[in-house]
Amino acid sequence: MNIDDSIAIVTGGASGLGAATVERLIAGGGRVGIFDLNETLGQALAAAHAPHTLFVRVDVSQEASVAAGVDAVKRAFGAPHICVNCAGIPGFVGRTVSKKGPFPLAEFAKVIDVNLVGTFNVARLAAADAPERAPRGERRARHHHQHGIARRLRRSDGAVRLCC
Say whether pLDDT at 153 is over 50. Answer: no
The predicted-structure confidence for 46-61, as pLDDT tens digits, reads as follows: 999 999 999 999 999 9
**Percentage helix, strand, coil, to 5, in the chain?**
35, 25, 40
Closest CA to 58 of 108, 112, 126, 109: 126
Cis status, amide bond into 51, omega within 30 of 0: yes
The predicted model scores a pTM of 0.79
